[in-house]
Amino acid sequence: MEFKKKSSAKSEIPTASLPDIVFMLLLFFMVSTVLRQSSGLPLELPTAQKIEKLESKKNVSSIWARSREEISIDDKLVRVRDISKIMYQKRVDNPRLIVSLKFDQRLNMGVVSDIQEQLRDVDALRVNYAAKYGD
């Protein structure tokens, strides 16, 4: 008498509902993700006759200023004397950093000069001055 060998149970994972699960996860993450944009301070930028747009905002850090007391770096209010410390750390993290300066058109030039001195102290010399196009 011969004994038949029992066939082994197949251990397959059912994949019929896998596309549905992937689609639901994708939809969940698309709905729940918030894309954050830097808002800065509300400013009225000065106008310029000729402007050029930056190619990429990947290496850009923005400084907004309305007055001596209202200076913001990447959405955080700072004092003038703290700019050099913050920008030094940013330059260490990213040597290709470009600083975009966004000043209110009514801002005192003394504040602009103070900010430029702070940037010069930490060798942040790649500077972009933001303006809006107009006459």
What is the full per-residue pLDDT of the chain (135 aa) written as tens digits? 677 777 677 777 777 888 899 999 999 998 888 876 666 777 778 878 887 887 777 889 999 998 878 899 988 899 999 999 999 999 999 999 999 999 998 898 999 999 999 999 999 999 998 888 876
Query: 61 lies in which domain range?
Result: 47-133
What is the spatial distance between Cα 82 and Cα 71, in angstroms, rounded to a whole number? 10
65 domain residue, yes or no: yes
Does residue 105 come out as left (phi exceeding 0), alpha (psi in the -120 to 50 range) or beta?
alpha
DSSP codes joined into one string, 33-61 = ------------PPEESS----S-STTEE
- For residue 29, being part of any structural domain is answered with no
- Is 88 inside a domain boundary? yes
Residue 101 belongs to domain with CATH number = 3.30.420.270
Flag whether the pTM goes above 0.85.
Answer: no
Q: What is the pLDDT of residue 38?
A: 60
Amino acid at 92: V
- Model pLDDT, residue 2: 74
pLDDT recorded at residue 71: 93
Can you give the pLDDT at residue 111? 92
Residue 85 falls inside a structural domain: yes
User: Is 11 inside a domain boundary?
Assistant: no
Domain count, the chain: 1
Q: Is residue 105 part of a domain?
A: yes
- Residue 38: inside a domain: no
Where do we find the tokens 């011969």? 2
CA dist 24 → 33, 90, 125 (Å): 14, 38, 47
Domain-located, residue 75 = yes
